[in-house]
Structure 1
Amino acid sequence: MRTTSQLAVLALIGGLGAAWHLYGEQYGLPRPLALVGLEAAPAPAARGGGQGGPIGVAVSPVRVGTVIDRAEAVGTVRARDSVSITAKVTGIVTAIRFQEGQRVREGDQLVDLDAGAVRAELDQARALFDDARSQVVRARQLQPGQSIAAQRLETLEAVARQTEGRVRQAQARLEELRVAAPFSGRVGLRQVSVGALVQPGTLVTTLDDISRVRVEFSVPEVFLARVQAGATVVARSSAFGDRRFTGTVAVVDTRIDTNTRTIRVISEFDNADEALKPGLFMTVEVVLSRRDDAMLVAEEALDPLGDRNFVYVIRDNRARRVEIRVGQRLQGEVEVLSGVQPGDHVVVRGIQRLRNDAPVRVTETLTRPTS
């Protein structure tokens, strides 16, 4: 019975000690009386120090660095301008004036259609117009004393206007037989051959301007207020290994997709070497914010307790346990939003043997992240 009671007392004292070390040290509460006698007993010598002496620790300074918040997404490359070149009228293909994959300029003729009949009609219309115009000129140049009925002059002028209209109509039809590039770009595969009969809407080829491309992607609506036009976008594709492409946000959609709760974003990239092709799958990172004066500590310095985080800061050769607010997590480092100052030295090795305000001896100072 006595043994059981003694064990219960020891367990109670042990529980009080653990609770005080977790919370009492942090808030400056006095030690429970039950611990005073126990802590007065000699403790084993700490590694690196004599019995009851300072504890040897490795420290690292709080440094100032750059922290970039990013949102990741997947996107698809689109040409800045893209069009399917089609025939406007019915006709026979008489010449193909481009090579597949060739770069063309705005206005370059791509395909010729048989225009013999239209040219004949145009020549006839021009002849009639020239004749009608000559009659009007002669009528207006009659010598004094010679007269012509006003009605006759009006008729000649009406005929001239009519024949002029026929000329313009034939010229328009002739222009429709000319299949030309509406803007500068690179043509795709040829879809017609010489001698083929094409109808209005028949696909001839495609034309894409990819000297500058768009990458379209969507991000969750929680980033709506943080994605701004002009923000930096970094894109990569497995097709190009480690190569990174840098662009900017051009447009953020005005509507949120109610099915996916995402918002569409369009970014633009210079593509002078035309490496990016329309339809290419890309992984993108859009920069939400950048902080060049962020405070960073080594990840090993954290001493978490539930959802709170602490570090041991060296002050006057003692380890002060300080609560911090954590921001972005980087590789081997953690951003600290509050609780420490640049230049403070925090313990990164030996934390397990520390308690608040324990005397310490710095055995090593690490200037780089330890992981």
Structure 2
Amino acid sequence: MKRAIIIILVIGLALAGIVYKLNKNKAEVAQETAIVAEKNAAVTVRIDTARTQSMNLAYQANGTFMPKQEVTVAAETGGRVVRVLVDEGSRVGVGQTLAIVEGDKLNVNVSNAQAAYDNARTNLQRYESALATGGVTQAQVDQMRLQFENAKNNLKSAKLTAGDVTIKTSVAGIVNARKIEPGAYVSPGTPAFDIVNVSTLKLRVNVDEKNVATLRVGQNVEVLASVYSDKKFSGRITFIAPKSDGSLNFPVEIEIANNPNNDLRAGMYGTAVFGGSGTANALVVPRTAFVGSISDNKVFILKNGKAIETKVQSGRSFGDLIEVISGLQAGDQVIISGQINLMDQTPVEVIK
């Protein structure tokens, strides 16, 4: 009995030792975790400095050149193509015949209409002569005159239809694509040629809300083409959208007169330069300093090791730099990365 009691006491002391050791280890782990959490409380960020800088006032926007006129010429009458008179790359003028469609059936219709017209005219003349001698009544002459007018209109309609066997262009330009070949059968409305006029082109660009206020319809704009580094072109603003898109950009359309060699081609990449070559001093920060959209006007500045949420008023865009009109001073350190993890007063750690 005494031995059993001793065993129980030994086991109890062992269990008590184990519990004590576990509690001690748990306390040590909790203490170490608290130390690590305290060390890791700071969010890692990068910073830049707000500074006053001489900025080029020119604002650039990119787009793609488009032809002012682009027309698909289609066949107006069905039939078999007899001849194609132009090739791709040919220059064509307004009203020029591009192809001829077989018109034998149409010519037969013209002949029949002509015969009916000649017959109605002869009958009308005979009835008018008979009216003078009393051989016919005035009502009969009127009826014959009506038949003559109908025959004349039918002849005119047949000639107009027969004229449609030639496929003509309504615009001047260059044949960009030929879609028919001799021997092919075309139906009314079949696309035959694509005509592109590149004597004048359009450049459509997007301008942000900070810069669009300085633009006017009719204003001259310098235009550059990426493939011609040594050439400049002059354009004129013809359209400014009254409504912005979802990114607060306004579509602006510029018309450019091509040079005599038609160096500019539809589909080329172009750049519009607004604002001339003047300069001005402006307080600027990197575009990446803004949280969300620039129009949200929110940045974080670094003060005493913490991120301070700051409301600013943004101004003009200078590419990767944005003007700040109010809310910051030169020398303020703004956070340019890591903002997604920040709230006001969040401790931060700056990395290079």
Q: TM-score, normalised by structure 1?
A: 0.57
Alpha-carbon distance, 1:142 to partner: 4.2
Map 1:70-85 → 2, pairs under 5 A: 70-85=58-73
Please tell me whether the aligned partners of residues 236 and 244 of structure 1 are also in contact (alpha carbons under 8 angstroms): yes
User: Which residue does 2:100 correspond to in 1?
Assistant: 112
Matched residues in 2 for 1:329 and 1:195: separation? Answer: 59
Deviation of 1:267 after TM superposition, in Å, equals: 1.0
**Pairing of 1:23-172 with structure 2 (within 5 A):** 69-142=57-130, 144-172=132-160
Alignment partners' CA distance in 2, 1:117 and 1:155? 31
* Pairwise CA distance, 1:290: 7.7
Find out whether 1:263 has 2:250 as its counterpart: yes
Q: 1:274 to 1:152 in 2, by over 3 A?
A: same
What are the within-5 Å matches in structure 2 for residues 221-240 of structure 1? 221-240=209-228
Does 2:272 align with 1:284? yes
Pick from 221, 236, 241 the counterpart of residue 229 of structure 2. Answer: 241
Classify 1:262/1:175 alpha carbon distance in 2 versus 1 (closer, same or farther; 3 Å): farther
Any conservation in 1 of the 2:210–2:316 contact (CA below 8 Å)?
no
Question: Over residues 321-371 of structure 1, what are the superposed CA-to-partner deviations in whole Å (9 max), with x where a residue is unaligned?
Answer: xxxxxx9999xxxxxxxxxxxxxxxxxxxxxxxxxxxxxxxxxxxxxxxxx
d(CA) in 2 for partners of 1:133 and 1:260? 72
Distance 1:328 1:163 in 2: 73
Supply the AA of the counterpart residue of 1:123.
Answer: S
Q: SS of 1:256's equivalent? A: coil
Q: Letter of the aligned partner of 1:92 in structure 2?
A: R
Distance 1:141 1:254 in 2: 72
Q: Quick one: which of 192, 199, 204 aligns to 1:211?
A: 199
Distance 2:132 2:154 in 1: 34
Q: Which runs of 4+ in 1 moved over 3 A?
A: 141-145, 327-330
1:151-189 deviations in whole A, cap 9, x for unaligned? Answer: 211221121122122212212322322210102111122
Give the structure 2 partner of residue 175 of structure 1.
163
Deviation at 1:246, TM superposition (A): 1.7
Distance in 1 separating the partners of 2:220 and 2:56: 11
Checking the alignment, whether the CA contact within 8 Å between 2:71 and 2:171 is kept in structure 1 is no
Per-residue deviation at 1:135?
A: 2.0
How big is the shift at 1:147? 4.0
Pair 173,328 (structure 1): closer, same or farther in 2 beyond 3 Å: closer
SS of residue in 2 equivalent to 1:242: strand
Inter-CA distance 118–256: structure 2 relative to 1 (3 Å threshold): same
Q: Secondary structure at the match of 2:134?
A: coil
User: The residue matched to 1:164 in structure 2 has which SS?
Assistant: helix
Aligned identity (percent) is 20
**Matched positions, count:** 230
2:64·2:203 contact (CA, 8 Å) conserved in 1? yes
The answer to whether the 8 Å contact 1:231/1:286 transfers is no
Which amino acid in 2 is paired with 1:113?
V
What displacement does 1:69 show? 3.4
SS of residue in 2 equivalent to 1:264: strand
- Counterpart code for 1:263: F
Aligned to 1:316: none
> Which string of whole-angstrom CA distances, capped at 9 and with x for unpartnered residues, describes residues 182-206 of structure 1?
0211112221110001123322121
Counterpart secondary structure, 1:279: coil
Summarize deviations over 1:16-40 as a string: whole Å, max 9, x none.
xxxxxxxxxxxxxxxxxxxxxxxxx
Question: Quick one: distance in 1 between partners of 2:317 and 2:208?
Answer: 20
SS in 2 for 1:254: coil
The residue type equivalent to 1:154 in the other structure is: D
Instruction: Check whether the contact 2:78–2:186 (CA below 8 A) recurs between aligned residues.
Output: yes
Do 1:236 and 1:242's aligned partners in 2 also have CA atoms closer than 8 Å?
Answer: no
Q: Normalising by the residue count of structure 2, what TM-score does the alignment of the two structures yield?
A: 0.59
State the distance in 1 between where 2:220 and 2:233 align: 10
8 Å CA contact 2:75, 2:190 repeated in 1:
yes
Q: Secondary structure of 2:272's partner?
A: strand
Letter in 2 for 1:261: L
The DSSP-based 3-state class of the residue aligned with 1:169 is helix
Q: Alpha carbons of 1:229 and 1:142: their partners in 2 closer, same or farther (altered >3 Å)?
A: same
Deviations 1:123-160 (A, max 9, x none): 21012112212322332344743342122112211211
3-state SS of paired residue (1:244): strand
Hey, what's the Cα distance between the residues in 2 that align with 1:329 and 1:81? 33
